Amino acid sequence: MSKNIKAVMMAGGFGTRIQPLTNSVPKPMLSIMNLPMMEHTLNRLIETGIDDIVILLYFKPEIIKEYFQDGSKWGVKIQYVVPDDDYGTAGAVGFGREFLDTTFMIVSGDLVTDFDFREILDYHEERDSKLTITLTSVENPLQFGVVIANEDGKIEKFLEKPSWGEVFSDTINTGIYVIEPEILDYIPVGESFDFAKDLFPLLMRESVDLLGYNATGYWRDVGNPESYRDLYDDISNRRLKFQISGRKIEYPEGTLYMTGNSKVDANINIVDTVVIGDNVTVGEGSRLHNVVVGDNVTFGKGCRLRNSIFWDDISVGNSVVLDNAVICNDNKIGDSVTAKAGLILAEGCDIGKLATFEQDVTVWPEKEIEPTAIVNNSIVLGTKYRNAIFESGSIVGKSNVEISCGMACKIAEAFGSQLPIGSCVLIGRDYDKSPRMIKRAFVGGLLSAGVDVLDLHAVPPSLLRYNIQSDENIIAGAYFRKSLSDPANIEITLYNEEGLRLDHNSAKRIEKSFFKEDFRRVDYSQIGNIYERDFYSKSEYQNYKDALESSIDGKTIKNSGFRVAVDLMFGITKDFFPQMITNLQIDNIMLNTYKDEKKLANIEHYKMKSKKDISDIVKNLGLNMGILIDPHGQSLTLVTDRGEVLNKVEALIAVLELMNMEAELKERKMHVFLPTWAPDLMDQLFKYLIIERGKYANFKSETLNEFDLIATIDGNYAFTEFALHRDAMYASLKIMELLARHKVKLSNVAKEMSRFFYATYQVPCPQSLKGKIMRKFLEYAKDKRSSSIDGVKIWESKTDWVLMIPDQYNEHLNLYIQALDEELGNQIYNKYSRLIGD
């Protein structure tokens, strides 16, 4: 390092995901071995030779300013920048441009690392780089920016906080940058601007090379309470190069580090590493095993403390047993309190004698626990909710456990807080009692935020979504249903004003409000109202029915003598679809038009039976076709006039052929959108279709309206002439209309299809290895045609390809394979499954 370098410490975050530890302190000031987290980073910068520091603040800035002051205590110069609004990561740095007149290094104040900063700076200087991003490999890349750099270190691809379906590497952006001052010219003044979302893509478009330095060593973003505890475990087990300060006192089973004047009884046991601050008293007979204690803490006699962290000003009684606990400031714990399976105790709590914490419990600030209480009802969230609550636009979890009434109310408060006071949300549910219960709790949360609720009760989600998009008075929607794959699960799906699932950014805003508990609770005079509709008197039902019947050419279907069998599979469409198809005067046979919770709980078994039954009915009665509509009314299965049950790919190709006929008749090209995993060998069959493939998520209405059909290979079809969302009721009628208009049989359409091999597989893979395997896939594809738009797709020839997408929720990889024939397909599968195994 040959020139003067400044450092920028980012210390403005809210610490939302690590609540309640950040209830009264900003995250960078969380105690790590009795020093604020960002002080450890400051010391690393000083060791590197940097003595000019700019600290960017936003949340609780006065706490950081008061602690570090002008920096003279550390022999450095510190200047503070406090933006007047949240301008994003790059925008905040741009706000301090007056201090950044030379090369500067950006480091987050809320990370812990033992990277060699000097090596990073030397790399930047040697390569004459304008912007260098420090990279490293991690097991779980979901919360970070995933990066691909070529052999020369030039960054080729960057994706901020992907889902597992988007992960293409385990190499991530650590948030440590070295930047030349001229890069500040690309950052607008007074606008929200992020490094990953805005600056990096802009620089790439402007042909400014971004270089990546692959750092080795320890790196952790302390993002949630579990990560905070894991950091201490890493320090204790020497996974991190960390200098523990204090006087060392050796015990038979461990080492005690004392950093102040404390009283430790001679008759105690110290196991492994124990750190004690100033004015600490430990009673006789106590055993401390991997414990860190701050200042002004008193422990009674006979305590058993293991893998635990104690902040300042804490009183602990006699015979207390704690394991894997974090005890924040100003807490009082009575005698014989037990928490053997984890406890987070936020500040200012009073725990009575003999209280027991039965599981990994979080107690929020200023709570009083009565003596002998058994505490087992903290914030009950499964592991998948620790960092996020949304999964592909929905919230999924065990009903009455992971998604309790309390959680549903909080989600609604967070959702409602993003909406204007007095606005109206349309809600609906399926028939099950769990969605009914959770929906009622959700309604209370919306009302408290000053939002009105129009409750349609039990309706298909497609009917709900149609009315959201068509009614300008409805600003959003919510739907509650039992999961078909796991009857114990409930799914909550939130919609925007266009009836589309919330996009990633909207979901993140709700999550931020949820975890921070930053809710808008209105004055009693502004509490929202509930409006309810009875079935068939619902204007919303009539709106949907009228629009559907006017959009479908029922006369053509009727005049063709069309006869169809439909199995509604005990689902939510039973009160709607039979009347609609009858109103269109279509000859029909309806099956399973009643509710049966036991059969819904084992729907896959009954689906197989339904396929056989409807196949026999269509074949024996000479019907034109059969249709199975899934219980939620969103996907369908097609049965030909010969009783052949089409698989999902065959059905998709048949629908595309019908659309191709329609486009030829109308003498215009029609646009179709398919996901990346859909096969493409049949595309040449459709001369009048323009087929586009891409990532099937975060759509905007203006994008969807460019297409005539949006489909997947899962039996989901959205005909945009009617609505932008999937709707099996409308799709069923539209397919009948197309068959009738073009005077073709579904069996002939299916027969005309070109046969080829297409299959999907699930290959077991631990979450911790997904990113690494994706990176290996990309490296393997260096000399082949490949794509990373959605997962990693590799072409083995002009026609044959394999696509790998990590499953977002389960420990396996999804493999999609297309080939000219089955033999070639099996060869591709065997080849890539071996590569994954290796």
pLDDT digits (tens, 9 = 90+) for 47-63: 999 999 999 998 888 99
- Give the CA angle between residues 361, 366, 370 to the nearest 5°: 65
User: What pLDDT is stored for residue 385 in this prediction?
Assistant: 32
Cα distance between residue 134 and residue 221, in whole Å: 14
Separation of CA 135 from chain center? 22
Cα distance between residue 8 and residue 463, in whole Å: 52
Cα distance between residue 520 and residue 523, in whole Å: 10
**Is it the case that residue 382 has pLDDT exceeding 50?**
no
Cα distance between residue 659 and residue 707, in whole Å: 12
| Over residues 379-395, mean pLDDT | 54
Identify any residues that bridge with 64 across adjacent strands, giving them in sequence order: none
Return the top range by mean pLDDT from 182-196, 372-386, 773-787.
182-196
Q: Looking at 130-139, 404-413, 584-593, 695-704, which range is the least confident one?
A: 695-704
User: What pLDDT is stored for residue 262 in this prediction?
Assistant: 87
Contact at 8 Å (CB) between 410 and 445? yes
User: What pLDDT is stored for residue 380 in this prediction?
Assistant: 38
Distance between start and end Cα atoms, the chain: 41
Q: Looking at 23-27, 566-570, 672-676, 780-784, which range is the least confident one?
A: 780-784
* pLDDT bucket at 167, cuts 50 / 70 / 90: low
The residues of the chain that CATH labels 3.40.120.10 are 393-534, 552-751
- Cα–Cα distances in angstroms (integers) from residue 246 to residues 202, 240, 266, in the given order: 48, 18, 18
Each residue's pLDDT tens digit, 564-591 = 999 999 999 998 999 999 999 999 999 9
The residues of the chain that CATH labels 3.30.310.50 are 757-837
**Residue that is written with structure tokens 């808008």 in the block:** 520
Contact at 8 Å (CB) between 111 and 174? yes
Contact at 8 Å (CB) between 720 and 621? no
User: What pLDDT is stored for residue 381 in this prediction?
Assistant: 37
Return the top range by mean pLDDT from 83-92, 222-231, 724-733.
724-733
CATH topology of domain 6-221: Spore Coat Polysaccharide Biosynthesis Protein SpsA; Chain A (3.90.550)
Each residue's pLDDT tens digit, 479-503 = 999 988 778 889 999 999 999 999 8
Each residue's pLDDT tens digit, 619-675 = 999 999 999 999 999 999 999 999 999 998 899 999 999 999 999 999 999 999 998
| Over residues 685-713, mean pLDDT | 88
| Over residues 517-544, mean pLDDT | 83
Return the top range by mean pLDDT from 54-63, 443-452, 712-721.
443-452
- Cα–Cα distances in angstroms (integers) from residue 287 to residues 299, 306, 690, in the given order: 11, 8, 72
| Over residues 677-697, mean pLDDT | 89
**How does DSSP assign 430-473, residue by residue?**
-S-HHHHHHHHHHHHHHHHTT-EEEEEEE--HHHHHHHHHH-TT
- Of 618, 616, 606, nearest in space to 565 by CA: 618
* Residue 459 CB neighbours (<10 A): 27
For 800, phi then psi, to 5°, come to -100, 130
| Over residues 136-142, mean pLDDT | 80
- Of 257, 277, 492, 247, nearest in space to 392 by CA: 492
Contact at 8 Å (CB) between 469 and 479? no
User: What pLDDT is stored for residue 127 in this prediction?
Assistant: 94
User: What is the DSSP secondary structure assignment for residue 769, as one 8-state letter?
Assistant: H
- Of 502, 485, 483, nearest in space to 493 by CA: 502
Separation of CA 131 from chain center? 29
Q: Looking at 114-123, 149-158, 409-418, which range is the least confident one?
A: 149-158
Cα distance between residue 303 and residue 317, in whole Å: 8
For 53, phi then psi, to 5°, come to -120, 135
| Over residues 602-610, mean pLDDT | 85
Handedness of CA 93, 96, 100, 105 (dihedral sign): negative
What CATH class is the domain 552-751?
A: alpha beta
Strands 786-787 and 792-795: antiparallel
Decide: helix, strand or coil at residue 176: strand
User: What pLDDT is stored for residue 450 in this prediction?
Assistant: 97
- The token duo for 463 is 């009917």
| Over residues 431-453, mean pLDDT | 96
* Residue 483 CB neighbours (<10 A): 18
* pLDDT bucket at 161, cuts 50 / 70 / 90: low
The residues of the chain that CATH labels 2.160.10.10 are 244-375
Decide: helix, strand or coil at residue 345: strand
Contact at 8 Å (CB) between 487 and 391? no
Strands 368-369 and 350-351: parallel
What percentage of the chain exceeds 90 in pLDDT? 64
**Is it the case that residue 2 has pLDDT exceeding 70?**
no
Each residue's pLDDT tens digit, 228-245 = 999 999 998 888 888 888
Residue 365: asked if its preceding bond is cis (omega within 30°), the reply is: no
CATH topology of domain 393-534: Alpha-D-Glucose-1,6-Bisphosphate; Chain A, domain 3 (3.40.120)
CA atoms within 13 A on the CB side of 276: 26
Helices 539-551 and 728-741, packing angle to 10 deg: 20
SS (H, E, C) 518-537: CCCCCCHHHCCCEEECCCCC
Each residue's pLDDT tens digit, 250-276 = 999 999 999 888 888 888 999 999 999
Cα distance between residue 57 and residue 755, in whole Å: 62
Cα distance between residue 362 and residue 340, in whole Å: 13
Cα distance between residue 668 and residue 120, in whole Å: 57
- Cα–Cα distances in angstroms (integers) from residue 426 to residues 497, 547, 575, in the given order: 10, 18, 19
- Give the CA angle between residues 757, 760, 763 to the nearest 5°: 135
Q: Which residue has the higher pLDDT, 603 or 313?
A: 313
Decide: helix, strand or coil at residue 789: coil
Cα distance between residue 610 and residue 626, in whole Å: 11
CATH classification number, 757-837, choose in 3.40.50.300, 3.40.50.720, 3.30.310.50, 3.30.930.10: 3.30.310.50
Q: Looking at 141-155, 188-202, 454-468, which range is the least confident one?
A: 141-155
- The token duo for 391 is 């999964």
Identify any residues that bridge with 757 across adjacent strands, giving them in sequence order: 819
**Is it the case that residue 35 has pLDDT exceeding 50?**
yes
Q: Looking at 182-196, 204-218, 329-343, 776-790, which range is the least confident one?
A: 776-790
What CATH class is the domain 244-375?
A: mainly beta
What percentage of the chain exceeds 70 in pLDDT? 95
User: What pLDDT is stored for residue 625 in this prediction?
Assistant: 97
User: What torsion, rounded to 10 degrees, do the Cα atoms 109, 113, 117, 121 define?
Assistant: -70
User: What pLDDT is stored for residue 23 in this prediction?
Assistant: 82
User: What pLDDT is stored for residue 697 in this prediction?
Assistant: 72
User: What pLDDT is stored for residue 158 in this prediction?
Assistant: 76
Decide: helix, strand or coil at residue 484: coil
User: What pLDDT is stored for residue 102 in this prediction?
Assistant: 95
Contact at 8 Å (CB) between 277 and 295? yes
Cα distance between residue 359 and residue 375, in whole Å: 8
The residues of the chain that CATH labels 3.90.550.10 are 6-221
**Is it the case that residue 439 has pLDDT exceeding 90?**
yes
